[in-house]
Structure 1
Amino acid sequence: MIDIGFGTQVCGELASAATREWLIPDGRGGYAMGTVSGLRTRRYHGLLVVAGDRPATRRVGLVSLDPAVTLPSGARVRLGAHEWASGEVDPRGFELLERFALVDGVPRWRWRIGDVVIEREIAMAYGRSCVAVVHRLVSGGPVRLDLAAVCTWRDAHGERRADGPTPRMEPAAGGAVVEGAFRLAGPDWTPEGQWWLGVHHREEAARGLNPDEDLWYAGRFSGALAAPGDTVSVLAWADDLAEEPAAATAVVAAARRRNRAVVAAAKPADAVAATLALAADAFVVRTATGPDVVAGYPWFGAWSRDTMISYEGLFLGTNRADEGRELLRSYAATLSQGMLANTADTGRVEYNTVDGTLWFLHAVSRHVTVTGDTDLGDELLPALHAVVEAHLAGTRYGIMADPADRLITQGGPPDVALTWMDARVYGVPVTPRTGKPVEVNALWVNGLAGLAELTELVGRDAGALWGLHTRAGAAFRKRFPAPAGWLHDVVDGPAPAYPLGGAAYHDDDLLRPNQLLAWSLPYAPLEPDEAALRRITAGLFTPLGPRSLAPDSPGFVGRHRGGPAERDGGYHQGTVWPWLIGPLVDAHRRAGLPTDGLLVGLEGHLREFGLGSVSETADGLAPHAATGCPFQAWSVAELLRVRRAG
């Protein structure tokens, strides 16, 4: 894997260290997450964040474990870091950090206090909601180490206040059980029980959300570090509270072994591919119903569109086809009226996407093509044919194959956004794209051909599918080219001056990246067009991927900043989306255009934001600062896939 490590110039400067984040997943949708500095900048940061019955229902438990070292002189040095509502940062333990590194995916901090050097490592027991925190004396000593256990128990999206109920604590061997929900265990436990008021999260303030909360100082662990090699460790876990996990040092060692095995199984071609293989592993989780995909950390759960876009990179690109097979079968079971369930993050199953189902057709086709698993193709074939039949007949939200040209049109209620550009502000879609979106129809043409091939592979006649594919493909080639030299983003949409369903229609030729799918997919409807791709790349490309709208377009937003409404308003109006690097590189390769320089920025980004991973979004204007989730599934998956394909 690539070397991800920083010295004092990064670790000791908050502007650098507090914007670089690490993540350790537990394989169930929970995680430990924080910054290089140790400062919690998000409400989502914590050492034990527990997933519920689905990945999106997470709760924060153990928030931090603040070290304080008592030196032989009697001096006491605090190594933690907190920011307060007053604006003060205290303590400032990051100023004593001489090194932070990810070692086989395990974060390691190294503090120096004169001749005393202490290292900390954090790991999770894979498949359990359990975190291990190990401190080791490297040199100097003897010293005494105190570890303040700072806790809460709340929804990951919210805050808890001191004016509410006091957290319930019950004694347990080696520590305590907090709120009946999670257990702490370590050496020489001393309960305390005190509110810390006004802890500040600067990233939440920047996102226009409530930035402050109160935390519960539950107590402290203490231990002697007499000689180099001595350790003081703490465990925290939320499942099966009566069953103690393995020793903390064993948990760390097991995590490192597993991470190395994950990378080796992916058979990476180089260090970047190895890093991406481990990054991909964070998103593949196992729930009560089988494998699933977390769309992004720290706030997303499972979304079918993201899962299917990510499928080839996460599963086929890392040699996890068996898990992928199980996932595809599970998702097929959610089909209803020819539509794949989009998400249950909201607490109910929602069917509100026009493209997620078409990405599912693509994922199944790629699975069978890459693995030769015709048995799965045969098993899912009736469901896939039913998808096509439902689209021909018409399904929810006005989604149907137009009888006139067999292109997919969609036009549900005015408050619904059905494509991946689905942001809404005060209930109104920012980019509704009613009509016939370009990428939806590229996926439709692609899906028809892929399904026809699957049908023939199992010895059945696919003449009707090929005929439909031919008709839709011809209509695509006729309708989507725009006079500007690229493709319309939407055709047959309602004119802005008319209500939905009015008599006047409009073709939208704003320069957006959705059209890349018309050249990039395996059964793309268009032949390579070097001139068009050069125009698109010139208008949209940035080092972190394509913008969602060209800078000279009306409505362009160059900075993805501000409160929820402001951020959502710019989400697809110029913001960079790294996942689109996949379609861009594929289209360039098909056209014979060079791709050597297209991935350099994203490979460098692996050390810049979500360490070892790729962010959800970035600013459309230089220097293209990363935004959104620091760890995003489809961003990682598409970078991994196109590097592997190259």
Structure 2
Amino acid sequence: MSYLRFDKTLMTNLEESLPKEILRTNRSGAYHCTTIVDCNTRKYHGLLVIPVPEIDDENHVLLSSLDETVVQHGAEFNLGLHKYQGNNYSPRGHKYIREFECEKVPTTWYRVGGVVLKKEKLFVHHENRILIRYTLVEAHSATTLRLRPFLAFRSVRQYTHENAQASRDYQEVDNGIKTCMYAGYPELFMQLNKKNEFHFQPDWYRGIEYPKEQERGYDFNEDLYVPGYFEVDIKKGESVVFSGGVSEASTRTLKKTFEEEMEERTPRDNFQHCLINAAHQFLNKQNEESYILAGYPWFKCRARDMFIALPGLTLAIDEVAKFESVMETARKAIHDFINDEPNDLKIYEMEHPDVLLWAVWCIQQYAKMVSRDKCREKYGQLLEEIMEYLRRENHPNLFLHSNGLLYANGTEKAITWMNSTVNGHPVIPRTGYIVEINALWYNALCFVGELVGETGNNNLAETLQTLAEQTGKSFIDTFLNEYGYLLDYVDGNMMDWSVRPNMIFTVAFDYSPLDARQKKGVLDVVTKELLTPKGLRSLSPKSGGYNPNYVGPQMQRDYAYHQGTAWPWLAGFYFEAYLRIYKMSALGFIERQLIGYEDEMVSHCIGSIPELFDGNPPFKGRGAVSFAMNVAEILRVLYLLSKYNY
């Protein structure tokens, strides 16, 4: 039995099936995302969603969906599903679904009378092409398959509506057609691997609704253009492959391409394999550059997320070459940033004050998980440049004070991972001495100090180690309070006493200014007030302003974003801290905690972990359907556990 399998009872109950989503990507920025019943519920959903750099740096929905109709003896059975006004679903094709599973690729079995049709979808790696294979498993008489494409040709952040400007022109190509609704877009090629008939029957399907957008307080309806439909005869036991892409496919090789691509997929037959499969989806190779996307369906490559996620997404699953490839692109971005040089790399938010420190932490994981010698050889100079840049106060918003601590101004602009803003101002104006920035700083001073000492650069090593001693003492004096936990940030006489998860890094990092008793005190407070089955809360329920439910319109969600919601990636550092304190006796506890994340494999975006969760029961998943840091940190925890169990 497949690990990710849903039976007829669940699939035909829209209350159960519509919240479950699937995501497939091509590792170059394009994706396919929808619900497991193929009913789009977000404006970001689509069969073929691709970057169109000639227009902007957003993704664009070209092919929204493809409705299948089985025709036998003149009777038509439409397998599609769309939501229209008044909670009307049409044509209600989900009632024909017998089973859905997603071990290698999303696979749906339909039963229509004596007909059993199997549908499998995959995205071709590094190509803007979706392939769908239809296999007629059972049939007692002549069967025709009709495919009706719904086109959007619009940004994921907009909608399309019926208009006279949309081009209805199309041209025939080998076993299909090509068409383009608007100038500036690439042509969409829709082809099958065998002869078929295209019936030109242009129409607009009006008033299609996206309930997830309505939930989030946005506009939620659009019209989609249908140019006509393809008809192809299909025999029992035969497979027909549909291709939707931005270049013409060789129709004779479509079957072979599908089979070869299937072989490359990581089977999602257990928890860890699901996460590995999800990890691959965040990789984004553009020409010679490699990036990590922060999440799907709307995130780009954010520098902080990339450095935090990279070890878990690559090193923890023994994919060292991928780490090195992404880090090579990141190295160029760091070099250009610290030398104030322009670049055209697609890495955003490099200027945030904690980003270079997370880059050091990221490289530190390479030293631990691959080789310290190799780390010195590949990244030693980069580490020295980063530390000198910070030590000499060249960063526009990081100031090294005489007490050895780093000071950053966060009153006007959100500068840490807690980055929600309302009306242009941070919801949480973390400013001054920020706890995780200085934990990262102390860790970086110690790590790089030791590493450069091994290369014989004793002057720099001594300078960094002396500074680390000063920083460590000031850290304790500044952040450790009489209740045994760490203040979140301190700016002169202003101290934030809120119990927040940012203190956990000080316990998790290899180098910490805290002694064993102090570490345990911090861990105890985090366990008692912040731990949930889905991650660490961003604020304790006992602290003022606790707002655990990420629901409602944008502003309401922005106020809740870091005020009590739970974040799985933080649990990765929590579990690492727990292992540091309790060693072997921590294993059972952590394994039990991981059950909360394994449950997510069949919820929300199946096989992955969403961006965040409500901080109160039932801890409902919210935000982006698949989030890189969350997947990465759970994979890194599984790696840490494997080292203990080895």
Q: Is the pair's TM-score, using the shorter chain for normalization, greater than 0.5?
A: yes
Contact 1:2/1:271, CA 8 A, preserved across alignment? no
1:98 aligns to what?
A: 98
Structure 1 segment 634-645 matched on structure 2, within 5 A: 634-645=629-640
Contact 2:488/2:503, CA 8 A, preserved across alignment? yes
2:515 aligns to what?
A: 527
2:556 aligns to what?
A: 566
The residue identity in structure 2 corresponding to 1:216 is Y
Contact 1:107/1:121, CA 8 A, preserved across alignment? yes
Q: Cα–Cα, structure 1 residues 302 and 406, in superposed 2: closer, same or farther, change >3 Å?
A: same
Structure 1 segment 195-214 matched on structure 2, within 5 A: 195-214=204-223
Shift of 1:324: 1.2
Shift of 1:288: 2.0
Contact 1:575/1:617, CA 8 A, preserved across alignment? yes
Structure 1 segment 245-324 matched on structure 2, within 5 A: 247-260=253-266, 271-324=270-323
Q: Cα–Cα, structure 1 residues 304 and 602, in superposed 2: closer, same or farther, change >3 Å?
A: same
2:17 aligns to what?
A: 17
Matched, 1:233 2:221: no
Render the CA deviation track for 1:424-465: whole Å, top value 9, x for unaligned.
Answer: 011010112011111111111111122123213333221111
2:534 aligns to what?
A: 544
Matched, 1:607 2:602: yes
Shift of 1:42: 0.7
SS of match in other structure, 2:503: helix
2:4 aligns to what?
A: 4
Residue of structure 2 aligned with 1:595, choices 587, 590, 594: 590
Contact 2:42/2:210, CA 8 A, preserved across alignment? yes
Distance 1:213 1:341 in 2: 43
Matched, 1:185 2:197: no
SS of match in other structure, 1:598: helix
Distance 2:623 2:14 in 1: 20
Distance 1:486 1:604 in 2: 31
Q: Cα–Cα, structure 1 residues 27 and 340, in superposed 2: closer, same or farther, change >3 Å?
A: farther
Structure with more helix by fraction: 2
The residue identity in structure 1 corresponding to 2:550 is H
Structure 1 segment 57-96 matched on structure 2, within 5 A: 57-72=58-73, 74-96=74-96
1:628 aligns to what?
A: 623
Shift of 1:56: 5.4
Contact 2:43/2:156, CA 8 A, preserved across alignment? yes
Contact 1:397/1:410, CA 8 A, preserved across alignment? no
1:176 aligns to what?
A: 177
Shift of 1:379: 4.7
1:499 aligns to what?
A: none
Matched, 1:428 2:405: no
2:442 aligns to what?
A: 445
1:501 aligns to what?
A: none
Q: Structure 1 length normalisation: TM-score?
A: 0.91
Contact 1:303/1:342, CA 8 A, preserved across alignment? no
Shift of 1:282: 0.7
Moved more, 520-529 or 431-440: 520-529
1:518 aligns to what?
A: 506
SS of match in other structure, 2:333: coil
Distance 2:511 2:255 in 1: 51
Shift of 1:2: 7.0
Distance 1:367 1:137 in 2: 49
1:586 aligns to what?
A: 576
Render the CA deviation track for 1:141-168: whole Å, top value 9, x for unaligned.
Answer: 4322111011121112211111362135
Q: Runs of 5+ in structure 2 lacking a partner?
A: 181-185, 642-646
Contact 2:27/2:281, CA 8 A, preserved across alignment? yes
The residue identity in structure 2 corresponding to 1:303 is R
1:416 aligns to what?
A: 413
Distance 1:311 1:390 in 2: 23
The residue identity in structure 2 corresponding to 1:182 is L
Render the CA deviation track for 1:68-105: whole Å, top value 9, x for unaligned.
Answer: 11233x3211111001134311111112211110022x
2:156 aligns to what?
A: 156
Q: Cα–Cα, structure 1 residues 429 and 340, in superposed 2: closer, same or farther, change >3 Å?
A: farther
Shift of 1:214: 1.2
Render the CA deviation track for 1:288-326: whole Å, top value 9, x for unaligned.
Answer: 242211110111111111111011111101222122112
The residue identity in structure 1 corresponding to 2:79 is L
Cα root mean square deviation, aligned = 2.4
Matched, 1:509 2:517: no
2:226 aligns to what?
A: 217
The residue identity in structure 2 corresponding to 1:590 is R
Percent of aligned pairs with the same amino acid: 27
How many residues align? The count is 620
Distance 1:341 1:305 in 2: 20
The residue identity in structure 2 corresponding to 1:442 is A
Contact 1:18/1:36, CA 8 A, preserved across alignment? yes
Distance 2:50 2:127 in 1: 9
Q: Cα–Cα, structure 1 residues 210 and 340, in superposed 2: closer, same or farther, change >3 Å?
A: farther
Q: Cα–Cα, structure 1 residues 611 and 349, in superposed 2: closer, same or farther, change >3 Å?
A: closer
Q: Cα–Cα, structure 1 residues 555 and 78, in superposed 2: closer, same or farther, change >3 Å?
A: same
SS of match in other structure, 1:602: helix
Distance 1:339 1:436 in 2: 25
Q: Structure 2 length normalisation: TM-score?
A: 0.91
Distance 2:319 2:215 in 1: 38
Shift of 1:570: 0.8
